[in-house]
Structure 1
Amino acid sequence: MGTDTVATAARGAGTGADRHLPGDCRAHFRAPGGPGGSWLDAFLFSVSLAVAAVPEGLPAVVTVALALGLQRMVQRNALVRRLPSVETLGSVTIICSDKTGTLTRNEMTVQEIVTRRSRYGVTGTGYAPRGEYVRLTDSATAPDVLTASSPPSGSSDPDLRLLLEAGAWCNAAQVVPRKGGSDWQVIGDPTEGALIVAARKAGIDVGERARHVLYEIPFDSERKLMSVVVRQMDGATRLYCKGAPEVVLSRSVAEQDDGRAVPLTTDRKRAILEANGQMAARALRVLAVGYRPQPPDRQGSDAESEFVFVGLVGMLDPPRDEVRLAVDRCREAGIRPVMITGDHPGTALAVAKDLGLAAEGEQAVSGPELERMSDSELVANVEKIAVYARASAEHKLRIVRAWKARGEIVAMTGDGVNDAPAIQAADVGIAMGITGTDVTKEASDMVLTDDNFASIVNAVEEGRGIFDNIRKVLQFLLSCNLGEMLLVLMASLLGWPAPLLPVQLLWVNLVTDGLPALALSLEAPEPDVMRRKPQRSGESVLSPQVGLAVLCQGLLVGGAGLTAFALGLHWHDGDPQWARAVTFCVLVYAELFRALASRSQTRTLWELGPFSNRFLLLAIVVSGLLQASVAVVPFTQRVFDVPIHSRNEWLMIALIALAPVTLIELAKLLPWAWRRTAPV
C-alpha cells in the first residue's frame, strides 16, 4: 500500500464521470434558468466538476498519514525502515520471537549452582554484588551460609570456588556502577555479567583478565560453547569453558570431585542431565562449566575436548511484565506468537507456559528433533508447535518457510548475524535495536528500539490503525466528491439550473478536502482494532465495504444538496442565485459534519468520544468559519455570488446539513449495520 495505490484508486473513481462531463454540462447550461448555454461557462463548469471528481489531494494526505503514523510507531519503540511493511504489519498472523531479551528482561541473576557433592542457592537480585550462598542440604533447618565476608575457600568447597573462577574467566562482560553509584550495570552480555556478579558475591575477582588470557574461542550458536585459555600464577595454562550442558558433557571425560578430577561415568552423565532438566523446568537458564588442564598452545578444533566437568549454573531471566498482556492481545487479534530460543526445552517450555504461549500438555520441539523432520513434515506439523528450543539460525529459516508455505504472514525477530537470512525471508523482519548487529538491522524491515515483544504488538496495532485511517480518508473524500457529482447530475436530469457555480464547486472541494481529511489521518487506532482478525494480505484499500459506504454516504450528501436547492428555488420563486447560495452552504457544512461520522464505520461518535480527536474538531471549526466568512463578508459574497441569508435560511442550512451525519450515526446502531464485519 502507498500513495501510488491510493492515487490509482482515486483516479479510477473519477474516470467514468470525466468521460461524460462536457456533454452533461452543455445540457445542464441549456436548462431553463441556466446561464443561457454559454460554451465558456459550460467549459469552466466542466473543468470544475472534473477537478471535484478526483480527490487530487489524497496522495498528499496519505503521505502525511503514513509519516505521522510512523512517528507514532517510533514513540512506541518501533522504527520502520521500509514503508511497505506498514501495510504488511496489519496482515501479520504469526510472530516468531526470540526468548531472551524479547520475551524476558535479559537481566540474568544466578539462582542455583550444582556441583557433584553440593547444591547452592544464591540470594540477591540485579547486578549488585551483594548476596549469600546457601548450601541446600537434606536438612533444611541447618543451612550453611557462605557470604562474601567468609568466602568459600579450598577447604570449604573447592569445587564451588573453581566453578565461580571459571565463570569469571570465561567472560567478556564488565559489571560497573551506574552514574551516581546507586546501582550497577552490565557492559556486554547479561549472562556473562551474572557470572561475574556470582563470583563477586563469594569474594572472587579475577582482576586484570586481559593480562592472563592467552586466547579465546568465542561463543557461537552452532557450537553453543565458549572457551578461554588462561596462564595461571604458577605459569601453567588451563582452558575454561562454559556452554550448553549437553555440549559440555559430550566433550567431557572427567568430573571435578572435592578438588580432584575423577572419571565421568555414563550414570553420572545421566544424573547431571536429569538435574539440568529439573532446573530448566523451573524456568532457569542453565549453563555448564568445565576446564581442561594443559590445553594445546595454539587455538584449534581439538582444544575444546577432554574437559573436566565442574558443575551447573542456573540463572533466572524473569519474563517482562507487559509481555503477558501482549500475548493475550495477540490471541484476540488473531495472531499466533511462537517462541524460538537456543535454551533448553524445559526452560523454554516453562517460560512459554508462564507467558501463555504454550498450554498445559504441550511440548517444546528441540533443534535435533527439527532436523529429523523433512520440509514437508515440518509444513504439516508447524501449526502444532508453539515452542522451539535449542534452535539455530538455520532452524529459524526453515520455520519461516514452513509457515509461509501454509499461507501465513510471518514476522520474525533476530539479533545475530546468522539471523539475517530468516529475517529477510519473513514478511516482516524485525531486528533488535539494543542487542542486534548492524547486519541484522540492515536486513530488517523494522527495528525495536527497546528489544521488547510488546513493542511488536504495539507496532501491529499502529499498522492496522494507519491502514484504517487511509481507508477513512479515502471513504470521506470519495463520498464528498460523489455527492457533488450526484447533485450536479440530478439537477441536470431534472432540468434545473446549475446548483453550483464553478468557483463555488472548487471552493467546496478545497475546504472539505483539506483540513478535515488531514485531521482524519491523525485518528488514533480504534479500541477494537486488536480484537479483529488480520486483514487479508494484498487487500485493497478500496474494499467492497468501503465502496458501499462511499455510495451510501455520497447519496446522502448529494440528496442533502439537492433538497436544499429545491427548497431554495421554491422559497425564492425560482431564483437560482439564492438557491445556489443555500446549496453551497449546505454542501460544505454537510461534508464537514460528516467528517465526524467518518471516524469509524462501526462505532458511534459518542462511543469514540466527541472530543477525542481535537485536531478534527479544530479542522471543522476553521473550515466552518472560512465558509461563514464567504457567506457574510461583502467582498467574498460578491466573489462567490452568495447573498446574505436570513435566520430562517441559516436554520434550514443547519438542519439539512446535519441530516446525513445523523442518519449515518443512527445506522451504526442498527443490528444489521457494519458493526460486526466492518474492517474500519
Structure 2
Amino acid sequence: MKWYQLSIKEVEKNTNTDLASGLSEKQAKKRLQQYGPNQLDEGEKKSALLILLEQFKDFMVVVLLAATLISGLLGEYMDAIAIIAIVIINGILGFYQERKAEKSLQALKELSAPLMQVMREGSWVNLLAKDVVPGDIVKIKSGDRIGADLRIIKASGLHIEESALTGESLPVLKQENVLTGKLEVGDRTNMAFMGTMVTQGSGMGIVTATGMDTEMGKIAHLLQSAQTLSTPLQRKLEQLGKILIITALMLTVLVVILGVYQGHDMYKMFLAGVSLAVAAIPEGLPAIVTVALSLGVQKMIRRNAIVRKLPAVETLGCASVVCSDKTGTMTQNKMTVTRVWTEGKLYEVTGTGYEPTGKFYYRDNQVDLKTNKTLVDLLAFGMLCNNAEIRFDKKHDEQYVLDGDPTEGALVVSAEKAGLKRNKLLEDYSIVKEFPFDSTRKMMTVIVKDRHGEYFAICKGAPDVLVERCHKIVSTGSAKTMSQMDEKKVLNTISELASQALRTIAIAYKPLPKGFSFKQEDVECELTLMGLQGMIDPPRPEVKKAIEDCRQAGIKTVMITGDHVITAKAIAKQLNLLPEDGKVMDGYQLSQMSVSELEDEVEDIYVFARVSPEHKLKIVQALQQRGHIVAMTGDGVNDAPAIKAANIGVAMGISGTDVAKEASSLVLVDDNFATIRAAIEEGRNIYENIRKFIRYLLASNVGEILVMLFAMLLALPLPLVPIQILWVNLVTDGLPAMALGLDPAEENVMKRKPRSPNEGIFARRLGWKIVSRGFLIGIVTLIAFMIALHEQPENLVYAQTIAFSTLVMAQLIHVFDCRSERSVLHRNPFSNFALVLAVISSVLLLLGVIYYEPLQPIFHTTFLQARDWLLILGMSAIPTFALAGFHLFTRKK
C-alpha cells in the first residue's frame, strides 16, 4: 500500500488503530503473532552440530585420532578408547565455551537494542523495537533511531538522516501532508523508515510496516553479513599461537627423534610426540580469551555498563583521561527550581524533586501569587515553552516521574507549585509552531496564539545567549527598554546564582503582529526578558570517591558542561575534581583555539564550561595528540563524532540518543560517572585475568615439554605416556585456566598507572615468569621421576605415576601463584572460590585415575603410599614457594 498517498484519517482506518489511545495490549499481542517480531532476518547461524564438529578439525587432533586408530588396529584397544574419549570430552568443553561466548554476545546485542516510545491503551510506554507492531502510534525525537516504517502524523522541525537507506547524507525535512504520484523512497517526505536517524525536531507516526516488510527489510541481505568481533588482544594471541605451534612442534619432533635414537619404540614415540604437541599447543587460547572477555562483559553488565564493542574491554585498562558530562553523569539529573528572579526580585522556591508541592518566598515572606501576575506569567511561559511531562506513577512506588528533559521538568514543577496546569493553560493558549532546542542556538521557541487571537513567541534558553537577544525587560508589570544598568543587574544575578551551583534558564517573549513572518531568525530577536529560573542538580554522592579512585589509578577526570563557568567551577570543587592550580576554560576561548594550540594547554584544564558538543571533538583530538587514551561521554546527536573519535566512546543509557549509542563502545545503563570507574576497574581486571591464564597455560606447557625433552637428553625412559599427557591437558590445564578468568581484582588494580596500549603480552616480566616456572615444573617432575625410578628400577609404571602426579600437583599449586603479580603469599587463595573448586575437582580426578583400579591400566598408574605423596607434594611445591620465598627475601633486603 502506498501509505504516503493516504491522509492521516485513511492511515488510521487502514491500520485499524486509534490516534487518541493507540492499540490495546490484546490487539498488539495478536498483531505480534500475525506479523512476527519487528526485526530483520539474520544470516544463517552455525548449527550446534557444526560448532561441535569444528572442535575436531584442528590438524593435530586429526593426526592424534589417526594415530589412535592405528593403535587400535595394532591391538592397543584400551589406549585408543581412552585417548578418543579424552579428545571427545575436550571437544565438548570447547563447544560449551564457544556456545557460552555466542550467547553472551547475543545477550549484549539484545541489551543494546533500540527502544521506541509507543502509545498503548492511552499511555506512553517504552518498548523494545522488536515488540512494535503495525498500527502502533509512536513518538520520535532528535537522536532517535527509527525502529519501523512510519507514516508521519505530526512533525515539528523534524529532520531525518536517511543515508542508511537512500545514500543521501543530508537530513530530509519531514511533514505530515498527503503526497501524490509515484515517488521513490527518498522523496516520501511524510514517511520515516526503519534504520534512519532523527537529527533534529520531533514528531509522531503510525507504524505501517515492521521487520522484513519495511523498506530496510527489502534490502536486508546487505545487512546480514555477520561481523566477527575480534579484539587486538585476540589477534595478538593468534599470532603468538602460530609462533608457539612452530616452537612446540620443533621441540616435539626433537623429543620423538631423541626417543627413537635411544631405542624407544617408533610407534609409541610417535603417539607420545603427537600427544605432547596436542597438549603443548595452546590452540584454544583465543577461544578462552573470548570466554574470559564475555564473562567480564557479563560482570560489567551487572555493574550497569554494557560493552557494545569488545575491543573497549582492553582499551579501558589503558584509559588515562575520562571526559565526562556533568549533568546526569556527575550529578543526579533531578533538577529542582529553587530560585526565580523577575522585576529585580529574587524569590525562593521550596520543595524537592518532581513532586509539585512547594511555596514561593520573598525575603522570608510567603508570596501571594494572586497579586503577582509577572511571577505567574514567567512560570506559565516556562510551562508552555516545554515538552516535558510530570506524571504520578503508581507502578514506581507512587512517585512523580518525569517524561522528558530534566531541565524542562523542573520548569513544569515550578509552574505546578504555583497552581498552574498545562491542560488549563492550553485552553487559553494554543501552540502554533515550535522551534526545538538545539545545542548551537542554546534555546527553544514556541509561537503561541491567545484566546483573543493575538500571536506571541515564548523563548527559553541559556541566559548569556538569550539576554543578548533581548532589547526590553519586564519592569513593574510592563515592558521597558533594557538599559546597560538593567543588563548589568541581570548578569550579576546570573553570576550570583551560578556561584551557588545553580543552573539558570532565561525566559523571554515577543509580541508578533498580524502578518508577521514566522521564520526562526525573525522571531528569535528583539525579545523582552521576563526573568530567570535557577535550578540545582546536586552531585551524585558516589561520584566524589569515584573521581578520587581514578586519580589514584593515574586517570585524570575532566568535566564538560554547557553550564555557566561559575556553576561548573562550584560543582567541580564540591566533587574535589578541580585542583588548586587546575584551569577552567569556556566555550568562547575554546572556539578561538586550534587543536594544536589547545594541545599546549589541555594538560592543565580540568573543566570545560559553556561548550557545545562540537567542541568535544577538539578536546578529544588535543588529548590524543598528547598521547592520552581518552574516554568521552555523550548523549546527544552532536556528541556522536566525539564519541566515535574517542578511544572509548561512552553513551548514556537513560538520556542517550540512539545516535550516541550507535557511535559508542560502552553504554552506561544508569548514566552514572561511578559506573565508568567500575568499568575501568573491570576492564583492567579482565586484561590481568587473561594474562594470568596465559601465564598458567604456557608455564604448564613449557613444563610438560621440558620433562620429556630432558628425559630424552638423559637417555631415561619416558616419564609420561600419551594418555597421561592428554589427561593433564584436559583436566589440569582446562578447569583452573577457566576459573582464573573469574578471579576478582587485586587490591591495587586501581592504584596502578594506566597500561600502555603498546604493551606486549609478555610485558612486566611475564615472559620470564612463564619460562622460569615452566623450567622448574619440568625439573622437579623429572627429579621426582628419577628418584622413584632409582628406588624401584624394575617398576616403570610406579615412576611414571610419581612423575604424572608431581606434574599435576606442581601445576595446581602454580595456578595460585598466577593470581598475583608478586607471589602466591600476597593473595587469599579462598577469594576465588571457583578456582578452589576447580583445583579440588582436578585433585579428585587425579586420585581417581590412581586409586580406582579399573582406570589404572588405562592411565598406566599404580597405587601410591603416603611417603610417595610426601615426595610429590614436596617437589611440586618448589616452583611456587621457592620463588615466593626468594621474592620475599629480596624485598626485605
Give TM-score scaled by structure 1 length: 0.93
Tell me which amino acid in the other structure corresponds to 2:473.
E
Q: Distance in 1 between matches of 2:603 and 2:737?
A: 42
Residues 1:489 and 2:704 aligned together: no
Structure-2 residue corresponding to 1:166 = 381
Structure-2 residue corresponding to 1:74 = 301
Residues 1:204 and 2:420 aligned together: yes
Q: Distance in 2 between matches of 1:194 and 1:409?
A: 37
Aligned pairs (5 A) from 1:572-587 = 572-573=792-793, 575-587=795-807
Q: Distance in 2 between matches of 1:443 and 1:549?
A: 40
- Contact 1:9–1:542 (8 Å) recurs in 2: no
Structure-2 residue corresponding to 1:662 = 881
Residues 1:132 and 2:359 aligned together: yes
Tell me which amino acid in the other structure corresponds to 1:291.
Y
Structure-2 residue corresponding to 1:145 = 366
CA deviations over 1:449-488 (Å, ceiling 9, x no partner):
1111111111111111110000000000000010111111
Q: Distance in 1 between matches of 2:600 and 2:583?
A: 17
Structure-2 residue corresponding to 1:176 = 391
In structure 2, stretches of 5+ residues that fail to align are 1-231
Q: 1:349 aligns with which of 569, 575, 580?
A: 569
CA deviations over 1:469-508 (Å, ceiling 9, x no partner):
0000000000001011111122222221111112211211
Q: Distance in 1 between matches of 2:598 and 2:709?
A: 60
Report SS of the residue matched to 2:830: coil
CA deviations over 1:532-571 (Å, ceiling 9, x no partner):
0000013222325110110111122112201211110121
Q: Distance in 2 between matches of 1:208 and 1:637?
A: 88
Q: 1:594: Cα distance to partner?
A: 1.5
Q: Distance in 2 between matches of 1:235 and 1:337?
A: 53
Larger deviation, residues 197-206 vs 320-329: 197-206
Change (3 A) 1:544 1:200: closer
Structure-1 residue corresponding to 2:253 = 22
- Contact 1:585–1:627 (8 Å) recurs in 2: yes
Structure-2 residue corresponding to 1:187 = 403
Q: Distance in 2 between matches of 1:309 and 1:347?
A: 22
Structure-2 residue corresponding to 1:445 = 665
Residues 1:628 and 2:847 aligned together: yes
Q: Distance in 2 between matches of 1:30 and 1:516?
A: 37
Residues 1:96 and 2:306 aligned together: no
Aligned pairs (5 A) from 1:393-472 = 393-472=613-692
Larger deviation, residues 499-508 vs 646-655: 646-655
Q: 1:332: Cα distance to partner?
A: 0.6
Q: Distance in 1 between matches of 2:581 and 2:566?
A: 13
CA deviations over 1:222-261 (Å, ceiling 9, x no partner):
0011111111222222211111111111111111012101
Residues 1:215 and 2:433 aligned together: yes
- Contact 2:393–2:401 (8 Å) recurs in 1: yes
Q: 1:516 aligns with which of 731, 736, 757?
A: 736
Structure-1 residue corresponding to 2:106 = none
Q: Distance in 2 between matches of 1:484 and 1:617?
A: 23
Q: 2:472 aligns with which of 247, 250, 254?
A: 254
Tell me which amino acid in the other structure corresponds to 1:509.
N
Larger deviation, residues 355-364 vs 542-551: 355-364
Q: Distance in 2 between matches of 1:63 and 1:376?
A: 39
Residues 1:60 and 2:275 aligned together: no
Structure-1 residue corresponding to 2:865 = 646
- Contact 1:29–1:498 (8 Å) recurs in 2: no
Q: 1:603: Cα distance to partner?
A: 5.5
- Contact 1:152–1:158 (8 Å) recurs in 2: yes
Structure-2 residue corresponding to 1:139 = none
Report SS of the residue matched to 1:301: helix
Change (3 A) 1:372 1:3: closer
CA deviations over 1:37-96 (Å, ceiling 9, x no partner):
321122112212222221223222211111100000111111111111111111011111
Q: Distance in 2 between matches of 1:257 and 1:482?
A: 86
Report SS of the residue matched to 1:553: helix
Q: 1:245 aligns with which of 463, 466, 474?
A: 463
Report SS of the residue matched to 1:578: helix
Q: Distance in 1 between matches of 2:469 and 2:623?
A: 36
Q: Distance in 2 between matches of 1:26 and 1:604?
A: 38
Aligned pairs (5 A) from 1:116-131 = 116-131=343-358
Larger deviation, residues 654-663 vs 429-438: 654-663
CA deviations over 1:299-339 (Å, ceiling 9, x no partner):
43110111111111110000011110110011011111111
Tell me which amino acid in the other structure corresponds to 1:168.
M
Q: 1:208: Cα distance to partner?
A: 5.2
Tell me which amino acid in the other structure corresponds to 2:837.
L
Residues 1:637 and 2:856 aligned together: yes
Q: 1:6 aligns with which of 234, 237, 259?
A: 237
Residues 1:388 and 2:615 aligned together: no
- Contact 1:379–1:405 (8 Å) recurs in 2: yes
Q: Distance in 1 between matches of 2:744 and 2:251?
A: 39
Q: 2:771 aligns with which of 545, 551, 564?
A: 551
Tell me which amino acid in the other structure corresponds to 1:202.
A
- Contact 1:13–1:478 (8 Å) recurs in 2: no
Q: Distance in 1 between matches of 2:642 and 2:735?
A: 43
Report SS of the residue matched to 1:321: coil
Q: Distance in 2 between matches of 1:132 and 1:619?
A: 64
CA deviations over 1:92-137 (Å, ceiling 9, x no partner):
111111111111111000011112331111111111111111103x
In structure 1, stretches of 5+ residues that fail to align are 137-142, 676-680
RCO higher in 1 or 2 (8 Å CA, sep ≥ 6)? 1
Structure-1 residue corresponding to 2:265 = 38
Structure-2 residue corresponding to 1:337 = 557
Q: Distance in 2 between matches of 1:432 and 1:519?
A: 32
Q: 1:669: Cα distance to partner?
A: 2.8
Structure-2 residue corresponding to 1:678 = none
CA deviations over 1:176-214 (Å, ceiling 9, x no partner):
112167421111011111111111112222325666111
Q: Distance in 1 between matches of 2:656 and 2:823?
A: 41
Q: Distance in 2 between matches of 1:520 and 1:590?
A: 16
Change (3 A) 1:159 1:652: same
Report SS of the residue matched to 1:130: coil
Change (3 A) 1:280 1:363: farther
Change (3 A) 1:38 1:644: same
Report SS of the residue matched to 1:599: coil
Report SS of the residue matched to 1:611: helix
Q: 1:668: Cα distance to partner?
A: 4.6
Report SS of the residue matched to 2:535: strand
Q: Distance in 2 between matches of 1:10 and 1:617?
A: 28
Q: 1:29: Cα distance to partner?
A: 4.5
Larger deviation, residues 511-520 vs 569-578: 569-578
Q: Distance in 1 between matches of 2:739 and 2:615?
A: 46
- Contact 2:696–2:815 (8 Å) recurs in 1: yes
Change (3 A) 1:544 1:363: closer
Residues 1:617 and 2:832 aligned together: no
Structure-2 residue corresponding to 1:232 = 450
